[in-house]
Amino acid sequence: MIRLVLLPVFAYLLLARHSYGPAVAILMFSGTSDWADGKIARLVANQSSRLGELLDPLVDRLYMVTVPVVLALSGVVPWWVVAILLGRDAVLAATLPVVRSRGVAALPVTYIGKAATFALMSGFPLVLLGQGGALWSRVVWAIGWGFVIWGIGMYLWSAVLYLLQVRLVVQRLPRVQHGGLAAG
Average of per-residue pLDDT values in the chain:
90
- Please check the confidence at residue 111 and state whether its pLDDT lies above 60: yes
The span from the CA of 83 to the CA of 54, in Å, is 25
pLDDT over threshold 70, residue 173 = yes
Query: How far is it, in rounded angstroms, from Cα 34 to Cα 29?
Result: 8
Cβ atoms of residues 45 and 51 within 8 Å: no
Q: Look at residue 64 and tell me whether its pLDDT is greater than 80.
A: yes
DSSP category for residue 182: B
Residue whose C-alpha is closest to residue 26's, from 77, 63, 54: 63
Rounded Cα distance between 115 and 35, Å, is 11
Q: In angstroms, rounded to a whole number, what is the distance separating the alpha carbons of residues 64 and 85?
A: 7
Q: How confident is the model at residue 7 (pLDDT cuts 50, 70, 90)?
A: very high
| pLDDT level of residue 39 (50, 70, 90 thresholds) | confident
Instruction: Give residue 101's pLDDT.
Output: 96
What was the pLDDT predicted at 22?
Answer: 96
